[in-house]
């Protein structure tokens, strides 16, 4: 069964599970991947297929992150129950391929590892993989191992209630063990982040963006995304001539570049999206990743494409875009957004 939902000379959209769809695509056919997978335990995107239960029931896995990702481990009399998610109203079985509702954090990390292994196959040798992840706090002693602490004789690693879980770095280090090279851990600072009701900690106003590559030689051109130089001092005061201390560089250096490297802290405000999608990142973020990390005329992939913000940036920069999502209505949102955007005036390659 074909997963293709839409295609034109600059865009290709697929409906289905990220790993399943990527498995059908040719190797080394992508130059740049920019994506933001669903966060563990945060949202249910309503992609489940329900089996059994009451036909008229408005099925739900629960209202809290802990409820949505938990499964029963024991049945009546202590017997082992099926580790399947059930509707909390009628008991219908949920069969769902969406990411983020795994029972344990380790399952989530390993699932992203499986998707990243497929990304490695699709990515060209000099390609770049930009992975946006946010952190979260533990609810009710969240489990990180294959089992959770549920009784005598059964134990698993847990993150205690209210603790920051370190999700981005858990994923990044897992990918590093798979062979990925972590070239940057960019902090995306959100100046206009939503108000945080917590009073016993400071508000979280950042997410992580990891730049991952397959080999030491790869395509990133930071000169494409330079920031303006400070104009506070005259040019002659910006010249560096070295110092007199031991081991100090003695050769002169003068800032002749039209701008400066943006560094690894990106301050980008979120932008509201009136359509029904929960968490789009601002176009500034994928735009910078693609501009620096994808050659002209290259192919961009987002395996968790959502409302198509990566596609919008790719269109503006004249790159071919391929998006994958479980929900076709999110592709409809993306197509409406793309319809109002004009591609760059360059020749685009045919899709592989």
Tell me, yes or no, whether 194 lies in a domain. Answer: yes
Higher-confidence residue: 246 or 331? 331
Residue 60 lies in a domain: no
Task: Give which of 1, 2, 101 is closest to 46, Cα–Cα.
Answer: 101
45 part of a folded domain: no
pTM (2 d.p.): 0.81
Strand partners, 322: 12, 301
For 222-255, the pLDDT digits (tens) are: 999 998 876 666 655 555 556 667 766 666 655 5
pLDDT above 50 for 151: no
Q: How many residues does the chain have?
A: 352
Residue 262 pLDDT exceeds 70: yes
pLDDT band, very low/low/confident/very high, at 331 (cuts 50, 70, 90) = very high
CA distances from 139 to 37, 42, 68, 133, 343 (A): 20, 11, 11, 19, 44
Answer yes or no: is 274 within a domain.
yes
pLDDT digits (tens, 9 = 90+) for 164-211: 999 999 999 999 999 999 999 999 999 988 788 889 999 999 999 999
CA atoms within 13 Å, Cβ hemisphere of 260 = 10
pLDDT tens sequence across 48-96: 566 667 777 877 766 566 555 565 544 444 443 445 677 777 777 666 6
In which domain, by residue range, is 322 found?
A: 4-40+101-139+163-229+261-339
**Average pLDDT of the chain to the nearest whole number:** 81
Q: Are 307 and 330 in contact (CB under 8 A)?
A: yes
Q: What CATH number should be reported for the domain holding residue 194?
A: 3.40.50.150
Instruction: Provide the domain count of the chain.
Output: 1
The β-bridge partners of 352 are: none
Percent pLDDT > 70 in the chain is 72
Give the span between the Cα atoms of 310 and 322, in whole angstroms.
9
Q: Is residue 350 part of a domain?
A: no
**Calpha distance 136→145 (Å, rounded):** 17
Give 24's DSSP letter.
T
Report the range out of 241-245, 273-277, 306-310, 339-343 with the highest average pLDDT.
306-310
C-alpha dist (Å) from residue 6 to 14, 55, 339: 7, 32, 13
In a domain, 295, yes or no: yes
């Amino acid at each position: 069964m074909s997963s293709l939902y839409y295609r034109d000379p600059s865009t290709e959209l697929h409906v289905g599970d990220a790993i399943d769809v990527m498995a059908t695509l040719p190797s080394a056919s992508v130059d740049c991947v920019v994506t933001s997978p669903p966060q563990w335990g945060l949202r249910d995107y309503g992609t489940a297929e329900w089996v059994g239960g009451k036909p008229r029931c408005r099925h739900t896995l629960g209202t809290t992150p802990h409820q949505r990702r938990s499964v029963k481990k024991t049945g009546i009399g202590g017997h082992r129950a099926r580790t399947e998610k059930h509707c909390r109203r009628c008991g219908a079985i949920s069969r769902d391929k969406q990411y983020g509702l795994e029972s344990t954090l380790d399952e989530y990390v390993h699932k992203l590892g499986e998707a990243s292994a497929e990304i490695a196959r699709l990515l060209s040798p000099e390609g770049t993989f930009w992975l946006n992840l946010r952190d979260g706090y533990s609810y009710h002693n969240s489990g990180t191992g294959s089992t959770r602490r549920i009784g005598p004789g059964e134990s698993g690693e847990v993150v205690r209630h209210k603790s920051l879980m370190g999700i981005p770095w858990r994923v990044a280090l897992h990918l590093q063990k798979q062979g990925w090279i972590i070239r940057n851990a960019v902090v995306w600072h959100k100046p206009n982040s939503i108000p945080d009701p917590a009073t016993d900690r400071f508000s979280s106003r950042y997410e992580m963006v990891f730049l991952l590559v397959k080999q030491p030689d790869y395509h990133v051109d930071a000169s494409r995304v330079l920031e303006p130089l400070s104009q506070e001092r005259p040019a002659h005061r910006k010249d560096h001539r070295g110092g007199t201390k031991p081991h100090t560089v003695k050769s002169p250096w003068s800032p002749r570049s039209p701008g400066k490297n943006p560094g690894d802290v990106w301050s980008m405000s979120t932008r509201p999206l009136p359509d029904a999608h929960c968490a789009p990142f601002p176009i500034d973020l994928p735009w910078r990743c693609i501009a620096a990390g994808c050659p002209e005329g290259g192919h961009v992939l987002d395996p968790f494409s959502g409302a198509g913000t990566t596609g919008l940036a790719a269109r503006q920069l004249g790159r071919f875009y391929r998006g994958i999502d479980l929900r076709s209505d999110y592709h409809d949102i993306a197509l409406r957004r793309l319809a109002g955007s004009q591609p760059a005036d360059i020749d685009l390659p045919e899709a592989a």
